[in-house]
């Protein structure tokens, strides 16, 4: 028999993370030097395949 695709799911996720030094990261001007912002994205895809097998 042949293989059949019965469904799928695609998921896109975007992340933005800010990291800073405690206390010093809150001080104007100095805090900007001690703060970092990071962006990340992830794409996940799930596909379901079925291949029938005849059992005697």
Torsion 46-16-36-18 (CA) sign: negative
Which pLDDT score, from 0 to 100, does residue 23 have?
86
Cα 44 to Cα 28: distance, rounded to the nearest angstrom: 39
Which pLDDT score, from 0 to 100, does residue 1 have?
67
pLDDT in tens, 1-19: 689 988 889 999 999 999 9
Distances (CA, A) of 15 to 19, 35, 46, 53, 54: 13, 17, 21, 43, 46
Distances (CA, A) of 34 to 13, 18, 20, 41, 53: 27, 11, 6, 24, 61
pLDDT in tens, 10-46: 999 999 999 998 888 888 888 888 899 999 999 999 9
């Amino acid at each position: 028999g042949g293989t059949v695709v019965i469904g799928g799911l695609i998921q896109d996720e975007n992340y933005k993370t800010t990291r800073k030094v405690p206390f010093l990261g809150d001080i104007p001007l100095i805090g900007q030097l001690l703060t970092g912002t990071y962006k990340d994205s992830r794409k996940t895809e799930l596909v379901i395949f079925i291949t029938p097998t005849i059992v005697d």
